Amino acid sequence: MAQTFAQTQVQTQQMSGQMLNSLAILGMSSEDLAEYLSEKAQSNPYVSYAPAPAIAARSSEDFDAVALLSSDRPSLMSHIIGQIELHFTVPKERMIALRFAEALEPTGWLGQSVETIALSASVPIVLAERVLDVLQSFEPAGLFARSLKECLLLQAKEADILTWDLKTLIENIHLVAEKRLGDLADLCDCELADLPDLLALVRGLDPKPGLAFDHVPAPVFPPDLIARRGDDGWEVELNRATSPTIIVREDRLQDGQVDKEARRARRRALAEARALAVALNRRGDTLLRAASVLVARQTAFLDAGPAQLAPLTLEDVAEELGLHASTISRALAGRMIQTPTHALPLRAFFARAVGPNVEGQGVSRDKAMDFVQRALAQEDATDPLSDGAIVDLAKADGLRIARRTVAKYRMLLGVGSSYDRRKAAIDA
């Protein structure tokens, strides 16, 4: 009985090790995977490694990211990458910085959490935060902010105007939208009459510093997938130029007299090579299947832009594929897809729902934000729309958006209340 128990235990540990190795490969970037496979090929005689063309053309040490970008007009991404090349000389830190750049939104804000970026780069969160501190020192101030508050605080600090009361006001800026100016004055330890001067300082800051540049989406890393519009709809395929491959060289098995330990080592090496090939195929298959779901669910987004994004989560994709959400997260983290017009991070296909439309279906944040932005752009300056009026217009257009959501998006767009806009029109 003891012997049977020992055999079962060894088999279970081996299977667990293979599963963990497969999960690790699933989450590796093309660059990390290339390095990993190269090391395996050197240590295992049964692994023959064929580097992908796009990866073989460069290494992480000599990668000139600026060369990937169009230089005919200034863009946010080229501006950021130029500063990254100057400030980060350690390859690992530069790689992390490029991951942050990949997550940058047109506004200049981060579109992913530090935890997510650290996971995609396979680095400790502490190291990712240290890199972020340097990135947030880039010009113009406010880039790489994780929220409106952080963006304004970074700018106020850079302008050397961040007094205690201004800091308190920014950290409680939501009270302005809620018209709780008395509460705000109490928190700032000032008179109500002092608030206009503080608010004037805030209005002098730029809530979206990234929009000062042309936003030309460009891949920081070569795209892992390619999407094309065919006669029968959108099609997705793996980008073979970034897909490293291996061959299990069973022809290298040697006959002849070898001792028992040598035969055991040879079997282990061959088993490792076979498991590596299976894990590599599973990585590509999972990535392609997940990307196919994203493209099928978001064809309107690919055809017409972010305003047509439908609500979609990792859990939705995982349920359709019969996989765990963490598996989908690993497969898609940091991955890019090339479309006929530009490259996009796969995270761009996900959208959070802010509420159902009048038919009970979900409305994405991007679609709701786009509607609020268009409504404000088309309003009569002498008779500006209230938040409630925008809610009614949205309902008439088939969207159900809460009034507090309209107020939140209006503030994110840097637009004051209807009272402030009417007053500004009269003063003008």
Q: What is the pLDDT of residues 356-375, one digit of tens each?
A: 655 566 777 778 888 888 89
Rounded Cα–Cα distance for residues 136 and 119 (Å) = 20
At residue 283, what are phi and psi to the nearest 5 degrees? -60, -50
Q: Beta partners for 47?
A: 248
> For residue 422, which of 373, 380, 370 has the smallest C-alpha distance?
380
Instruction: Give the separation between CA 211 and CA 153, rounded to whole angstroms.
Output: 18
Cα radius of gyration (the chain)? 26
Residue 1 has pLDDT above 60, yes or no: no
Q: Which residues pair with 312 in a beta bridge?
A: 351
Spatial distance between the Cα atoms of 304 and 134, rounded to a whole number of angstroms: 36
Helix crossing, 325-332 with 260-297: angle to 10°? Answer: 90
Q: For residue range 264-323, what is the model confidence (pLDDT) as tens digits?
A: 888 888 888 999 999 999 999 999 999 999 999 999 989 887 778 888 989 999 999 999
Mean pLDDT across the stretch 12-32? Answer: 67
More confident residue, 383 or 18: 383
**pLDDT of 216 strictly over 60:** no
pLDDT interval class at 257 (50, 70, 90): low
Mean pLDDT of 236-258: 79
Cβ atoms 108, 76 nearer than 8 A:
yes
pLDDT at residue number 256 = 57
Chain position carrying tokens 């989560």:
313
CA distance 424 to 428: 6
Instruction: Pick 9 or 20 by higher pLDDT.
Output: 20
| Confidence band for 173, pLDDT divided at 50, 70 and 90 | confident
94 SS3 class: helix
Q: Which two tokens stand for residue 308?
A: 């047509």
Instruction: Please report which residue ranges of 88-180 form alpha helices under DSSP H.
Output: 91-102, 114-121, 125-135, 148-158, 164-171, 174-177
Residue 426, pLDDT score: 84
For 147-155, the CB contacts below 8 A with 24+ separation are 147/109, 148/173, 148/207, 148/411, 148/412, 149/173, 151/108, 151/109, 151/205, 151/207, 151/208, 151/209, 152/202, 152/205, 152/207, 155/205, 155/206, 155/209
- In the chain, domain spans: 18-57+222-250+260-348, 353-427
- pLDDT (mean) for 98-109: 83
pLDDT of 149 higher than 80: yes
Residue 204 confidence (pLDDT): 83
Q: What is the pLDDT of residue 71?
A: 39
Q: What percent of the chain has pLDDT over 90?
A: 15
Q: What gap in Å lies between CA 98 and CA 64, rounded to an integer?
A: 11
Q: How far apart are CA 65 and CA 69, in angstroms?
A: 7
pLDDT by residue (tens digit) across 45-80? 899 888 776 565 544 434 444 444 443 445 677 778
User: Average pLDDT, stretch 412-417?
Assistant: 77
Is residue 382 exposed (0-12), middle (13-18) or buried (19+ Cβ within 10 Å)? exposed
Q: Which residue has the tokens 């404000």?
A: 376
pLDDT computed for residue 195 by the predictor: 83
pLDDT score recorded for residue 293: 96
Any residues with CB less than 8 A from the CB of 148 and at least 6 apart, and which?
173, 207, 411, 412
- Among 154-168, 208-222, 322-336, 350-364, which stretch is predicted with the lowest mean pLDDT? 208-222
Mean pLDDT, all residues of the chain: 80
CA 156 to chain CA centroid, Å, is 27
Average pLDDT rounded to a whole number, residues 169-176 = 86
The pLDDT score that the predictor gives to residue 358 is: 55
Q: List 238's β-bridge partners, or say none.
A: 225
Average the pLDDT over 95-116 and give the result: 83
314 and 290 Cβ atoms separated by less than 8 Å: no
pLDDT of residue 12: 40
B/e letters for 119-130, b = 16+ CB within 10 Å, e = fewer, are: bbbebeeeebee
d(CA 220, CA 97): 10
Q: Which residue has the higher pLDDT, 152 or 258?
A: 152
Instruction: From residue 384, give the alpha-carbon distance in Å to each of 1, 176, 398, 419, 420.
Output: 83, 18, 22, 8, 9
pLDDT of residue 383 exceeding 80, the answer is yes
For the segment 92-108, the average pLDDT, to the nearest whole number, is 84
Per-residue pLDDT, 174: 83
Q: With CA atoms as reference, report the closest residue to 134 among 172, 181, 93, 77.
A: 93
pLDDT of residue 5: 46
- What whole-number distance in Å separates Cα of residue 428 and Cα of residue 425? 5
Q: In the numeric block, which tokens belong to residue 57? A: 């053309």
User: From CA 286, how far away is CA 99, in angstroms rounded?
Assistant: 22
Higher per-residue pLDDT: 355 or 158: 158
- Averaged pLDDT, 347-364: 72
CB atoms near residue 42 (< 10 Å): 10
Looking at the chain, the whole-number percentage of residues with pLDDT higher than 70 is 84
| Listed residue (202, 214, 216) closest to 414, CA to CA | 202
Q: In CATH, what number does 353-427 get?
A: 1.10.10.60
Q: Give me the mean pLDDT over the 151-170 stretch.
A: 86
pLDDT at site 397:
86
